[in-house]
Chain A
C-alpha cells in the first residue's frame, strides 16, 4: 500500500534549474524507501515538495500531483501546518532550535496548541527513547540543544520529529556529518521506527542505501531512472546508469 503517490511531478527553480522532471513513483507505507543518486539528482527537492517546505525556496513552477494519504499537497485548500505535522523531516545538518533539549522536542506540540505538562513530559521521554537518546540526556533536559554532540543533536532532531507522531518521516542524508557509531545508532532506530512510520531516506552512501532499503529509487539530474523492491536495485539494476552508480563508477 502506497501512502505517498507522486504523479508526473516536475519542478523548476527561479534560476531556471529543473529540479525534478516528470517524476512518477509510489512510496510504500511502513517501509524504508531509499532515494539515492549523485548530488543534484533532485532527492532533496522531492522531499521538500512532499511537505511543501519548498514554499521557503525559490520555486517558480510545479506540475503534476503529489498526494499524502490521499491529500493533494498542492491543493490551495490543503492545511500546510497539518501536512507538515503528518510529514516530518530531518535534515543533513542537525539544527537544534535555540532552545533546551526538552523544548526542542515539545516545540512542535506547543505550536500545535498542546499545553498539558504531563502529556508533554511523556512525549519527551518516549521520543527520546525511540531515538535512542534518553539514556544520554535524561538528567540534563534543560541544557541547550546545541550543547549535545553532532550525533546526539541528530537523534534529538529525529526525536522532535517523532513528537508530532507523523505518518511519514523524511530523512535527507541524516548521517552525512556523523561518525560510524552514531550512524549505526540512527540506522538501528530507523529499523524500529518503520513499524510505526513510513520512512523516506536519502542515504549518504550506496552502502547505507543497500543496508537500509526496502524499496529504492535512483535519481539522476532531476529524473527518476528506476525503482526496485528490496535490494534488487543494488544486485540487479536494470539501467546502465544505475549500475554504474551503485558499483561506484561515478557520483
Chain B
C-alpha cells in the first residue's frame, strides 16, 4: 500500500516537473515573437500617422506615406482570392467527394503537397515566363495575382480537402438514403459543415500571398509609382516589396519608415488571422455533431 502510494506520488511529481519544463519551452518559443513584435512597435509606431497611411511617398520615399503600397497589397490579395478560392474549393470538392481512390488521384495529391513546398521565387520565375511573357499580360496586377494564386492554390486545396473529409461519412450515407444527389449532399450538408475549415485555409493561403515578395517581383510589383493603379493591367506597389526596396535600395532611409511599413504589413496579416480564428471559434460553438 505504502509502496504504491509513494510510486504514484513520485509519478505525479515527475509529471509536474515534465509539465513545467514543457511550459517553459513553450514560453521560450513565444519570447522571440514577443521580442520581435515589441521591437517593431517601438521602432515603427512613431511613423504611423494619418498621413503615413493615406499619403503618397515623397522625397524619394524617405518621407510621406505608403498608401499605394497598402492598396496594392489589398488589390493583389483580392486578385489572388478571385482566382484561387473558386479553383481551390472546386478542386478540393472534386478530390474529397468525387475522385475515385486510384493512382491518378494519388499522383495529383502528391503533386499538390509538393507544390506547397516550392520556394516562392520559383513561382515568380514561372509567373514571369507564363503570364508576363507568354500570355503577354505584362508586369501587372493581373499577372502577379495569377502567380500568387498558383502559389496559394496548394494550401487552399489541401486544407479544404481536409476540412471536407473531416465531415463524418455517416452524413453522406444518411443524406443519400433520403434521396439527395451527391451534389445536394455537398451543398446542403458537407460544405456548410466544412466551411470554417475551408475559410481558415483560404485566409492562411491569402495571408502568405499578401506577405510574399518574390512571386510579385518579376510579375507585377513596381519600385515606385506616382499614382494608384488604374486597372488590373497596371503594375502596382506592394507592402512587402516596398519594404524590401526601402530597406536595401534607398540610401539615407529613416529607420522609422521601414519599421512603420513592416508594422502595417504585420497588422494586415494579423487582421486576417483574427478573422480566421473568430470564424473558427464561432463555427465550433455552432457545430451540430
Interface residues of A (CB under 8 A from B): 51, 53, 55-56, 81-82, 84-85, 88-89, 91, 93, 95-99, 107-108, 111-112, 144-146, 157, 160-161, 164
Known: A108-B179, A111-B188. A98 touches B174 (CB 8 A): no
Nearest A-chain residue to B170, judged by Cβ: A95
Across-interface contacts of B188 in A (CB, < 8 A)? 107, 111
Are B288 and A144 in contact (CB-based, < 8 A)?
Answer: yes
A104 to B246, CA, bound (A): 59
Across-interface contacts of B193 in A (CB, < 8 A)? 98
Nearest A-chain residue to B192, judged by Cβ: A98
Are A97 and B174 in contact (CB-based, < 8 A)?
Answer: yes
Which listed residue, B172, B173, B178, B287, touches A160 by the CB 8 Å rule?
B178
Q: B181 an interface residue at 8 Å Cβ cutoff?
A: yes
Are A97 and B171 in contact (CB-based, < 8 A)?
Answer: yes
Known: A98-B193, A98-B287, A146-B289. A84 touches B177 (CB 8 A): yes
Are A145 and B173 in contact (CB-based, < 8 A)?
Answer: no
A96 to B174, CA, bound (A): 8
Nearest B-chain residue to A112, judged by Cβ: B179
Across-interface contacts of B289 in A (CB, < 8 A)? 98, 146
A164 to B176, CA, bound (A): 13
Q: Please encode chain B, from 164 to 208, with 1 for each CB lying within 8 Å of some chain A CB and 0 for all others.
A: 000010111111111111001000110011000000000000000
By CB atoms of chain B within 10 A, which of A107, A144, A146, A164 has the most? A107
Are A97 and B181 in contact (CB-based, < 8 A)?
Answer: no
Across-interface contacts of A88 in B (CB, < 8 A)? 177-178
Are B177 and A53 in contact (CB-based, < 8 A)?
Answer: yes
Q: Provide 26 A-B residue pairs closer than 8 Å at the C-beta atoms, listed in order of the A residue.
A: A51-B177, A53-B173, A55-B176, A56-B172, A56-B176, A81-B180, A84-B177, A91-B173, A91-B174, A93-B170, A95-B170, A97-B174, A97-B175, A98-B171, A98-B189, A98-B287, A98-B288, A107-B178, A107-B188, A111-B175, A111-B179, A111-B184, A112-B179, A146-B289, A157-B174, A164-B179
Are A84 and B176 in contact (CB-based, < 8 A)?
Answer: yes
A162 to B193, CA, bound (A): 25
- Known A-B contacts: A91-B170, A111-B175. Give 6 more (CB < 8 A): A81-B180, A81-B181, A107-B178, A111-B181, A160-B178, A161-B178
A56 to B180, CA, bound (A): 13
CB distance from A146 to the nearest CB of B (A): 5
Across-interface contacts of A99 in B (CB, < 8 A)? 288
Interface residues of B (CB under 8 A from A): 168, 170-181, 184, 188-189, 192-193, 287-289
A96 to B289, CA, bound (A): 9
Which listed residue, B168, B171, B178, B287, touches A84 by the CB 8 Å rule?
B178
CB distance from B172 to the nearest CB of A (A): 7
Across-interface contacts of A95 in B (CB, < 8 A)? 168, 170-171, 173-174
Which listed residue, A89, A93, A108, A146, touches B288 by the CB 8 Å rule?
A146
Nearest B-chain residue to A53, judged by Cβ: B177
By CB atoms of chain A within 10 A, which of B170, B174, B181 has the most? B174
CB distance from A137 to the nearest CB of B (A): 16
A85 to B175, CA, bound (A): 11
Known: A95-B170, A98-B193. A89 touches B184 (CB 8 A): no
A97 to B289, CA, bound (A): 9
A160 to B174, CA, bound (A): 10
Which listed residue, A51, A107, A144, A164, touches B175 by the CB 8 Å rule?
A107
Across-interface contacts of A164 in B (CB, < 8 A)? 178-179
Across-interface contacts of A146 in B (CB, < 8 A)? 288-289
Are A81 and B173 in contact (CB-based, < 8 A)?
Answer: no
CB distance from A51 to the nearest CB of B (A): 7
CB distance from A79 to the nearest CB of B (A): 10
Nearest A-chain residue to B181, judged by Cβ: A81
A42 to B287, CA, bound (A): 35
A98 to B188, CA, bound (A): 10
A84 to B172, CA, bound (A): 14
A108 to B181, CA, bound (A): 11
A166 to B179, CA, bound (A): 11
CB distance from B284 to the nearest CB of A (A): 13
A28 to B185, CA, bound (A): 32
CB distance from A176 to the nearest CB of B (A): 15
Nearest B-chain residue to A110, judged by Cβ: B188
Across-interface contacts of B173 in A (CB, < 8 A)? 53, 56, 91, 95
Nearest B-chain residue to A89, judged by Cβ: B177
The 6 closest A-B pairs by CB, nearest first: A98-B288, A108-B178, A111-B180, A85-B179, A95-B170, A144-B288
CB distance from B289 to the nearest CB of A (A): 5
A89 to B174, CA, bound (A): 8
Across-interface contacts of B192 in A (CB, < 8 A)? 98
Across-interface contacts of A51 in B (CB, < 8 A)? 177
Across-interface contacts of B180 in A (CB, < 8 A)? 81, 107-108, 111
A81 to B171, CA, bound (A): 16
